[in-house]
Structure 1
Amino acid sequence: MHSVSERKMFRLSVLLILVALLVASMFISLIFGSTSVSLGDIWHTLWASELTDSASQIIWNIRLPRNIVAALVGACLATSGAILQAVMKNPLADPQIVGVSSGAGLMGVIILILFPGYDYLVPMVAFLGAMGAALMVYALAWKNGIRPSRIILAGVAVSAFLGSGISALLVFFGDRVQGALLWMVGGLAARSWPQVEVLLPYAIVGLIFACMGAKRLTILSLGDET
């Protein structure tokens, strides 16, 4: 009982330290840049009713939304990796290895290259592509049950197959690939409040469901028989 409480205290301490580092790194990125600002400028920006000076404009329209996007993306990537590692009982599992990223990438590239007028559908279509890739991997790995090793092997094959589809589109439509390449690589340049509004609902829903399923994921890590 004593060791259990010690482990909980250790985990809580690590969590608090990481939260403190997150807050500190966000403040550092708000302060330093091509134009340096002060903590007073940040405080004024967060509570001011009108933003008239240049420092407030830089903080509110450039650095703060970019920070929020980075934090949300990082949280979602970390959570997805933890979920896959728990389900597959493999510390090396990630969305790229099991084909999920390739499924999302292929559908996103199809929209951006073939139907650029519907780019607002990219998040939903990419999600459906990721789900389709996951179902494909599950179907290929099924043989009187599911084993994590078979899922990873099937995921590598599906990832290579879908990745070749992405490469084919980029080759055949070389004159339209700029936006698709930027989307695939990702980045925080020129991120602002519209990107926060797009990302926030998906992040909130995904993180809530992940927390709700944490106990089931822990049970899965004990093995099929248990």
Structure 2
Amino acid sequence: MSSWQTFSTRPNKALFWTALAALTVLSALGSLWFGSVSVSPAEVLTALLGRGGGSTAAKIVLYSRLPRTCAALLAGAALAVSGAVIQTVLNNPLASPGIIGVNSGAGLAVAVLCAIAPTAQRLSPLAAFAGAVLGVLLVLGLAERTGASRMTLVLAGVAISNLFSAGIDAVVTLVPDALTGVTDFRIGGFHGVTMARLALPAALIAVSLLAVLSLSQQLDILALGGDTARSLGLAVGPVRIALLVLAAALAGAAVSFSGLLGFVGLIVPHAMRRLAGEDSFPLLLSSALGGACFVTVCDLLARVLFAPFELPVGVVLAFTGAPFFLWLLFRQRGGRL
């Protein structure tokens, strides 16, 4: 395994999986229960069972909190698994969809689609996928052709991310109505998301997650290093590209409805490596659950901390993720990762 992968003593497996699943369920329930308007657990259950009629509580649950909770769960799972795959394939602990340009590439593609075909916004998940693939292939090209160090690769990814972000700004400047709520999109959040809007991204995320999990064995072999993987008979190039395309699909689908959420794909895989271990299948599965729980809790905090005022969830993630990234950066410079 790579030298940067260090692990602490892991908890009992059954206890860990039970606790992680329970925390994810509790975070979802908390997201449905709590907010600026008080809704009791009984009212939530009544609304979910379709017995709430036209009550105010039922409308809040079904048309505001339920779509938002589903969006947070989907985005968290997708971005965390995407980050785990990218870190392993690039052998870089500092890589994540938000840092190396994958998210911003997806965002630029969505902005361009909305500018040139405003009536085709339902296709934004596909556009986001294309933009995310472009971002990840640029980074992969840099890694393959220049033999760049881990730090250089991250800096190049940051430069690509800034280039794509500048492209988003240019599109919005030239076509001001291209992105509705552009500030929320740039920061990241789930305000105004609907179940209909989640349908296509959810399908793309589900298919991509299943595909990534089915390739977990190949990911384990790839983590041993390119030369070792080739000696074991793995077609390194095609497998690496396939995994990165799937990571781009996950990140792009999430960006299409959540905006440019950052740091999820950085924080969660690191935490799960220490708790679930280095084997890819449990790592990917725990990253999906952990990411879903983490983003849902952050979104809940964004809604209740300053109620009735609401923060974009991207702000909460930035306050959490930026110090974590700096800590990783200093450890990387010290050669301890």
TM bin (shorter chain): 0.7 to 0.9
Distance 2:176 2:146 in 1: 44
1:217 aligns with 2:219: yes
TM-score normalised to structure 2 length: 0.57
Which residue matches 2:112?
110
Give 2:164's match in structure 1, choosing from 146, 162, 165: 162
Distance 1:36 1:153 in 2: 45
Deviation at 1:18, TM superposition (A): 2.0
Distance 1:195 1:184 in 2: 18
For these two proteins, the number of residue pairs brought into alignment is: 220
Distance 1:23 1:225, change over 3 A: same
TM-score normalised to structure 1 length: 0.82
Q: Is the 8 A contact 1:65 1:191 kept in 2?
A: yes
Give the aligned residue type for 1:22.
Answer: T
Give the aligned residue type for 2:59.
Answer: Q
Give 1:22's match in structure 2, choosing from 21, 24, 27: 24
Q: Is the 8 A contact 2:32 2:66 kept in 1?
A: yes
Deviation at 1:206, TM superposition (A): 1.6
Which residue matches 1:198?
200
Q: Is the 8 A contact 1:141 1:154 kept in 2?
A: no
Which residue matches 2:35?
33
Which residue matches 1:73?
75
Deviation at 1:197, TM superposition (A): 1.7
Unaligned regions of 5+ residues in structure 2, if any?
A: 1-8, 229-337
Distance 2:208 2:97 in 1: 15
Distance 2:65 2:171 in 1: 34
Distance 1:167 1:54, change over 3 A: closer
Deviation at 1:225, TM superposition (A): 2.8
Distance 1:216 1:148, change over 3 A: farther
Deviation at 1:179, TM superposition (A): 4.1
Distance 1:220 1:65 in 2: 37
Which residue matches 2:97?
95
Q: Is the 8 A contact 1:95 1:101 kept in 2?
A: yes
Rg larger in 1 or in 2?
A: 1
Q: Secondary structure at the match of 1:96?
A: coil
Q: Is the 8 A contact 1:88 1:151 kept in 2?
A: no
Q: Which shows bigger deviation, 85-94 or 173-182?
A: 173-182
Q: Secondary structure at the match of 2:190?
A: coil
Q: How does 1:46-65 map to 2 (within 5 A)?
A: 46-48=48-50, 51-65=53-67
Deviation at 1:60, TM superposition (A): 1.9
Distance 1:129 1:100 in 2: 8
Q: Secondary structure at the match of 1:69?
A: helix
Deviation at 1:204, TM superposition (A): 0.7
CA RMSD of aligned residues (A): 2.7
After the TM superposition, which parts of structure 1 deviate over 6 Å for at least 4 consecutive aligned residues?
A: 144-147
Identity among equivalent positions (%) equals 35
Give the aligned residue type for 2:61.
Answer: I
Which residue matches 1:208?
210
Distance 1:208 1:146 in 2: 31
Give the aligned residue type for 1:116.
Answer: P
